[in-house]
Structure 1
C-alpha cells in the first residue's frame, strides 16, 4: 500500500491536524443554511475547534455564511481557483488574523468579514472587481487595506461599497471619521487608493504591492537608506510592516538588510 505524503494528504477534504493545528480542508460544501445559524455538516463544537481553514483547489465559490462564527480560526488560505466570497462567509471569526485571498478572486460579498476583530490587514488581488458594503465593518483592528492602484472606480470595473471599512482603525484614521454620512463612496475609494501615493511613500507602495519584487524594494532602500524601512506613513504604517503583512510577498527582510549592509561595506553580495 502506497504511503500518503503530507503534501498529497493536504488536498483531501475534511478535518485533521496539519502543522500542529486542527485544520479544515474545505472542498466547497454547503456547511450552513438560511441566515447561517443552522449547521448542516459540522456541529458548533467541531466548528469551534478549527484553527486553520485551507480552501482546496477547484473551489470557485465560498457560499453565504459558510464559516460564520468559527471563533477560533486564526488563518485562512485560499486556492487560486476561488472567484467569489459570498454574504457573511467569514463574519464573526473573531480570532482571524491572517487571510491569503485567491489570486483570481473577483467578488467579496456583503458582511463577508464583518466583526473579524483580530484582522489587521487585507491585500486585494488585481482580479477583484467588487467589494460590497460592510465587508470589513466592525473589524476593529483593521488598518492595512491594499487596493490595486491601477483599478478604476466605476460600473463593472471596481466598486467599493461606501461602508466597507466602517468601524475600523482605518476608518478612524480617515478624513471621514466623525462626519457621519457627509461623504460618498467615491471619496472613500479615492482616499483608500491614494494613502501611499505621495513620493515619500514609494517604498510603502512597493512593499504593499501585489507580488512585490525584491530588486525593486532593494533599489528603493539602497537609494533612500535603511531607515526608510521604518519610516511611517500618515497611518503610522512602515514599509517593513506592509512587507511582513503582505501574504503575496516572498522577500526575507533580514536577508535584504544584510545585503544592504554588505554592499555599503564593500563586501561581495
Structure 2
C-alpha cells in the first residue's frame, strides 16, 4: 500500500497496532481517536486532535521499531516472519526480549500473535531457544 487516505482508521477504538512501511504516504488524521494514539506520548487538544504534530505522529508510526533495541518487534511484525530470524535475535537478546514494550507499549509477543502472515508461534521460538541453550538444537 503506497498511500493510506485521510481518516482511514479514525475512531477505531481498538486499534493498537499500526505497522506501515516508511515510504507509505499517510493521510490527515489517519489514526485519530484510536487506542494507539490515545496511549501514545503525543498531547492531543481538547477535541482529541494532534494538530500541529501530524508529521511527528506520522514519523513515529513509520519509525517506531527502527531502533536496534526493537529488532525483535520489527521481525515479529514483518510479512511472514522467519523462525530462524526470530531465534537469532532471541539468542542475542535473551528470552525476555519477547516482553519488552516499545514506545507504543507493544511487545514482540503481541506483534507475533496479531500478525496474520505469521505461521509460527512464540512457543516454537522458546522451545528452540531452550534446546539451543541445552546444546541439543540442530
Instruction: Report the alpha carbon displacement of residue 252 of structure 1 after superposing the two structures with TM.
Output: 2.5
Whole-Å separation in 1 of the counterparts to 2:137 and 2:51: 57
Whole-Å separation in 1 of the counterparts to 2:115 and 2:19: 9
- The equivalent position to 1:146 in structure 2, one of 3, 10, 19, is 19
Give yes or no for the alignment of 1:129 onto 2:2.
yes
Structure showing greater radius of gyration is 1
Instruction: Report the alpha carbon displacement of residue 267 of structure 1 after superposing the two structures with TM.
Output: 1.8
Larger relative strand fraction: 1
Instruction: Report the alpha carbon displacement of residue 185 of structure 1 after superposing the two structures with TM.
Output: 3.8
TM-score by length of 2: 0.88
Q: Pairwise mapping of residues 201-220 of structure 1 onto structure 2 (< 5 A)?
A: 201-220=70-89
Deviations 1:241-265 (A, max 9, x none): 1001011112232121111101101
Whole-Å separation in 1 of the counterparts to 2:137 and 2:3: 47
Q: Pairwise mapping of residues 10-29 of structure 1 onto structure 2 (< 5 A)?
A: none
- Which stretches in structure 2 are left out of the alignment for 5+ residues? none
DSSP 3-state at the match of 2:18: strand
Instruction: Report the alpha carbon displacement of residue 181 of structure 1 after superposing the two structures with TM.
Output: 4.9
Larger relative helix fraction: 2
Whole-Å separation in 2 of the counterparts to 1:212 and 1:268: 20
Which consecutive segments of 4 or more residues in structure 1 shift more than 4 A?
A: none
Aligned to 1:195: 64
Q: How many aligned residue pairs are there?
A: 135
Give yes or no for the alignment of 1:233 onto 2:102.
yes
Deviations 1:3-62 (A, max 9, x none): xxxxxxxxxxxxxxxxxxxxxxxxxxxxxxxxxxxxxxxxxxxxxxxxxxxxxxxxxxxx
- The equivalent position to 1:160 in structure 2, one of 10, 17, 26, is 26
Q: Pairwise mapping of residues 49-64 of structure 1 onto structure 2 (< 5 A)?
A: none
TM-score by length of 1: 0.47
